[in-house]
Amino acid sequence: MKITTPFPDPPAPGTATTVAPGILWMRLPLPMALDHVNIYAIDDGDSWTVIDTGFDSAKTRALWADLLSGPLAGKPVKRLIVTHHHPDHVGLAGWFIERGAELFMPRTAWLMARMLTLDAQDTATAAQITFWERAGMDADILTRRRSERPFNFADCVHPLPLGFTRLAEGDTIQMGGRTWDIRMGDGHAPEHATFWSRDDAVVLGGDQLLLSISPNLGVYPTEPNADPVGDWIASCTRFRPHAHAEQLILGGHKLPYTGLPLRLSQMIENHHAALDRLAVHIATPRTAHDCFAPLFKRTIGPEVYGLAIVEAVAHLNYLHRTGRAKRSLGTNNAWYYQSTV
């Protein structure tokens, strides 16, 4: 068994690549280290179903204008599927709804996106600051974050109106002449929708089934004791009976690929290996900030520091929840984790 990439060249901006009958792959830029998001359009005969949207930005809206007048010309987008609540996937959902599309997404994803777009802050809240302190955040970064305007979800997500159609675990949906089973993942985002065609070997994997990278598994002030690593490993394990080597996996980033059984094994094993390295590293008590080296095996620069620290907290939370680590609060208000075995 091996992993293959049958479409090695991503579509250029404003263009689309046909990856399966009636399914177009498009790509939109992101202003971050992971510099793109994949978008898919499914031909429903008289209209399109679009999977995910990109950020709400002038640049993305201009690219969508090119796509709507180019590869998607002649038919309206009547249905929008959002796989999960992160801004690069839900950012323009409200914009599409204003233009006549019906929104379909998981309930938890809709609630999270709706809540976060309404929760705009000019300065960091006390709960955010406490969370950063407990993670042992770098002192200079913490000082800056205390005073600067924090990132707000609404900065890159169009307002979400009331009303959506729920996607639920175990349900099916008709798209492009296919019947798709809806299976929910977890860990990267709560209640993340994936779609498995019954009629051919195509899977819409969102960020749950990415090639070559693991999506961020982060803990945030909204739920500081969450265990997304445990949720992620459990999700990958649940998907295994449904995976076979011939399925074409259409992910939210990177390239489409085949070889899902091997990829699921890699994703599970990679996190177990990281947890084992981390457990050795915290033989001496350490904060989340002190744990980048065993987890990432590379230097963490300022552009990815925020993602790194929430992922370090996530892996430490897993060790703590499973009894492999204990923690104590230091005089600096940071949690110090230490292995128990």
Flag whether 253 is in a domain: yes
Flag whether 289 is in a domain: no
With contact defined as beta carbons under 8 Å apart, do 181 and 88 qualify?
Answer: no
Flag whether 232 is in a domain: yes
| Residue 13 backbone phi and psi in degrees, to 5 | -55, 135
pLDDT digits (tens, 9 = 90+) for 24-67: 999 999 999 899 999 999 999 999 999 999 999 999 999 999 99
Q: How many helices (H) and strands (E) does the chain have?
A: 10, 14
Q: What residues are paired with 286 via a beta bridge?
A: 337
pLDDT at site 190: 97
pTM of the model: 0.97
CA nearest to 260, candidates 41, 5, 28:
5
Total domains present in the chain: 1
Flag whether 53 is in a domain: yes
Which band of pLDDT confidence, cut at 50, 70 and 90, is reported for residue 263?
very high
Flag whether 330 is in a domain: no
CATH number for the domain spanning 167: value is 3.60.15.10
Distance CA 183, CA 31 (A): 30
Range of the domain at 159: 17-259
pLDDT at site 341: 85
pLDDT digits (tens, 9 = 90+) for 235-246: 999 999 999 999
Query: How does the average pLDDT of the chain come out, rounded?
Result: 97
| Residue 275 backbone phi and psi in degrees, to 5 | -65, -40
Flag whether 306 is in a domain: no
Flag whether 11 is in a domain: no
Flag whether 68 is in a domain: yes
Residue 1 has pLDDT above 90, yes or no: no
Share of the chain above pLDDT 70, in %: 100
Which band of pLDDT confidence, cut at 50, 70 and 90, is reported for residue 74?
confident
The first and second tokens of residue 109, run together, are 């994803």
Which band of pLDDT confidence, cut at 50, 70 and 90, is reported for residue 205?
very high
pLDDT at site 63: 97
